[in-house]
Structure 1
């Protein structure tokens, strides 16, 4: 599998925060989503990839190349579209059209028709000054600009921040259409679980400046289940910790125990072989999985 972004033992240390060491490969041709609480290091990871910040140690590659000099750095960045979490307030004085004219100077692949179509679809008035746009309109404008030069790689930091439901749906459709072309890649950081479900092929869990796991989405959702059993006789908490893929055990009251497993298939088989009756089971949501991972892995 081709790699769009490769981080090899990348580390950045600040006075009150340590990011890494990060070991990560973002597969080319897919959508990967970074999921984690605020302060996890998601935005800083994007900025490291673009060399907005320089790492203290480790290696960063984009499309298989390192940013070894200014000429290579410019050429590689021209293949990337980056949407930061917050709009740049220093641009407030210019109109949308003026910013578009400035941006297109740096991107040989700028497509004026693509830009115009996106502005129309998002219902943005580019004659407005950026500082006069609502948060949602500014977000839609910035997304249109990021997509207008047909980048091979999109780095999207909380892309739907400030969008109303209709605009959010349009964004989802636009990103899905963007991925129809071969070798397009999206890496996004988001808090919106439905966004991950609709778009992502792979999920990266992150907390406390560390990557807790990299998973194929459908496999992850199929494997992480909660099982409910009644504690009685020889079915005690100690025995239930032997469940394949065991992650966490919770006393639910009333004699019921909830066991979380990251290998549902083997866990089901184990319960059957052990003769333990399962009262019910359900797949875990992404935020529940993240909570378990933070509890079990973030402290190591």
Structure 2
């Protein structure tokens, strides 16, 4: 990662009656797309709301674009942020989209009406419609146009393609790729859509039950996590604990053993040195990796 960080979260905790978030520590590099992946209820949306100073942590420090969120006198940094939440409140339902636009644009000196109109045309959205009459997907498309029209330096996207049809999804992917081209902008997104994460993200953060299980460079992650199949008889008598990257070892039937490793190349070299033939291999996808990390986390907690 580069030295410059768009977001810095240090030992942050948020305590509620039925949920505790943290302690969280995370650094999001500038000029990159970082995706938070995890089950519902992991704390992704609460993290976004803390970054926007909509809710306050009970402990810890947060800074965005070099500005401490605790500094109430310095709110100029919010003009550099665009936020698209997963859900929208009903309090705006009777408002026409164009009326909301007229109100919002006054807060942004860099508002670009041509870009706003371009995105509306791309998504085929009519902003004369009342917000409450829009479908979930149409409302999200409108909010994208509203948020991106002031060309924010930092985009916070909570489940960005929720409610999108495949054509709109492809248009959004293409637009966000172009948005990142200047190298100065940053996206932090929460998503459960694997293709979305694979196509957009530079870094992946796994988050479960209010805790971060790890942050990984995407290409390195997907190339290093593999499943190997070996003969149980060849493995017998070997010091399996010395195998690098070994996460899971289980019976695969017919005398074979299934090995899940986070260090594919090192595991393969270890097998060569130990004269163990790898009979089959398969790269793990994001859901598989998350499942392994969750199970390891459970075992760690029990221990």
What TM-score does the superposition give when structure 2 sets the normalisation length?
Answer: 0.95
1:190-224 Cα offsets, whole Å, 9 max, x none, are 00000011000000000010000000001111111
Q: Secondary structure at the match of 1:48?
A: helix
- Give the CA deviation at 1:242: 3.1
- Give the CA deviation at 1:100: 0.7
Q: Which residue of 1 aligns with 2:134?
A: 133
Q: Secondary structure at the match of 1:204?
A: strand
Q: Which residue of 1 aligns with 2:158?
A: 157
Q: Secondary structure at the match of 1:58?
A: strand
Cα distance in structure 2, aligned partners of 1:297 and 1:163: 33
Q: Which residue of 1 aligns with 2:282?
A: 282
Cα distance in structure 2, aligned partners of 1:4 and 1:99: 28
Cα distance in structure 2, aligned partners of 1:140 and 1:238: 57
- Give the CA deviation at 1:102: 1.2
Q: Secondary structure at the match of 1:72?
A: coil
Q: Which residue of 2 aligns with 1:261?
A: 261
Q: Secondary structure at the match of 1:279?
A: strand
* CA spacing shift, 1:209–1:238, aligned 2, 3 Å: farther
Q: Which moved more, 1:273-282 or 1:61-70?
A: 61-70
- Give the CA deviation at 1:283: 1.0
Q: Which residue of 2 aligns with 1:3?
A: 5
Q: Which residue of 1 aligns with 2:244?
A: 244
Q: What is the root-mean-square deviation of aligned Cα atoms in Å?
A: 1.3
Q: Which residue of 2 aligns with 1:34?
A: 36
Q: Contact 1:231–1:237 (CA<8 Å) still a contact in 2?
A: no
Kindly indicate whether residue 60 of structure 2 is the aligned counterpart of residue 58 of structure 1: yes
- Give the CA deviation at 1:240: 3.3
**Which consecutive segments of 4 or more residues in structure 1 shift more than 2 A?**
67-71, 236-242, 297-300
Q: Secondary structure at the match of 1:181?
A: coil
1:1-300 alignment, distance < 5 Å: 1-73=3-75, 75-232=76-233, 235-236=235-236, 239-298=239-298, 299-300=300-301
Q: Contact 1:158–1:189 (CA<8 Å) still a contact in 2?
A: yes
Gaps of 5+ in 1: none
Q: Which moved more, 1:242-251 or 1:56-65?
A: 242-251
Q: Contact 1:226–1:261 (CA<8 Å) still a contact in 2?
A: yes
- Give the CA deviation at 1:71: 3.7
- Give the CA deviation at 1:253: 1.5
* CA spacing shift, 1:45–1:68, aligned 2, 3 Å: closer
1:9-40 Cα offsets, whole Å, 9 max, x none, are 00001001110000100000000000001111
Q: Secondary structure at the match of 1:124?
A: coil
- Give the CA deviation at 1:237: 8.9
Cα distance in structure 2, aligned partners of 1:290 and 1:237: 31
Q: Contact 2:62–2:70 (CA<8 Å) still a contact in 1?
A: no
Q: Contact 1:240–1:259 (CA<8 Å) still a contact in 2?
A: no
Count of matched residue positions in the alignment of Structure 1 and Structure 2? 298
Q: Contact 1:243–1:261 (CA<8 Å) still a contact in 2?
A: no
Q: Secondary structure at the match of 2:25?
A: strand
